[in-house]
Structure 1
């Protein structure tokens, strides 16, 4: 696909930015929204799923497994950092982001096929 290279470049950038953010010492103050970090995890993994799919078109189980492994690795490493902590809720938010991507993808394909049938 002609957009594959763009998706690959954006995926690398996204992966680097997310890795920096999750492993660096937080310098931001707590948001007025209590679970803002969960929204960040959800959105980050939605984006990673979308970019990985756009770059490589892997089978759903490979993409989900790879991103689940990355999410788990993040939490394990954060458990060893004195200024971070591991969180099962973060891991669940990561997987929810991947699941939401697939729900959106299936919805898109369903809508696209319905529009094609209508003419």
Structure 2
């Protein structure tokens, strides 16, 4: 069995995710999606956390959500663009282009921000939809946080690998 290049999976996944975002941004009625996330997925997650004695996680998530909403940051935009930021980073990382690989985080933030702004502009022409600077900023924050999480994860992973290698050399 031949090995599949990771870019053949990541790039189409990123494109499909971007199409999904575009569809959501142009749909005038996304109440069903919000209802599903709030009731179906939200209640299931809440029950799992409570039954697992992790109610402190639930309290933290509720506090965080309320804080974010008070700051006029849309948690939906933030979360969706966080996911896009991760996929964009992986797409640039798997591109094989030295510059894109080296600056994957910067390219992901730039590309995702341009995409988010274009989506906001398109919303001006859709009935019952409104373009907003707050949504564009929520998109940007999601992209930036995704890059921070990825870079932090990579740095921690490299440190763990270094420690394992040192321990193997000692033994």
TM category (shorter chain) comes to 0.7 to 0.9
Q: Over residues 80-110 of structure 1, what are the superposed CA-to-partner deviations in whole Å (9 max), with x where a residue is unaligned? A: 3221001111111100111111111121122
Unmatched tracts of structure 1, length 5 or more: none
| Distance change in 2, residues 1:101/1:28 (3 Å) | same
State the match for 2:169 in structure 1.
none
> In structure 2, what is the Cα distance between the partners aligned to 1:28 and 1:63?
29
Is the aligned partner of 1:108 residue 2:148? no
CA contact (8 A) 1:7 1:55 kept: yes
TM score, norm. by length of structure 1: 0.84
1:71 is matched with: 116
* TM-align CA RMSD: 2.4
Which structure has the larger Rg over C-alpha atoms?
2
2:19: which partner in 1? 16
Q: TM-score, normalized by length of structure 2? A: 0.61
In structure 2, stretches of 5+ residues that fail to align are: 39-64, 94-99, 165-171
- Please report how far the alpha carbon of residue 27 of structure 1 lies from its aligned counterpart in structure 2 after TM superposition: 4.5
Q: Deviations over 1:29-63 (max 9, x none)?
A: 6767885x922211211111211221222323332
Instruction: Establish whether residue 42 from structure 1 lines up as the match of residue 45 from structure 2.
Output: no
Distance of 2:145 and 2:30 partners within structure 1: 29
**Aligned residue number for residue 142 of structure 2:** 97
Name the CA distance, whole Å, in 1 between partners of 2:29 and 2:91.
30
2:92 match: 56
> Which region of structure 1 is more displaced relative to structure 2, 55-64 or 18-27?
55-64
Cα distance in structure 2, aligned partners of 1:77 and 1:50 = 24
Which digits, 9 at most, give the CA deviation of each residue in 1:7-28, with x for residues without a partner?
1121121111111111011141
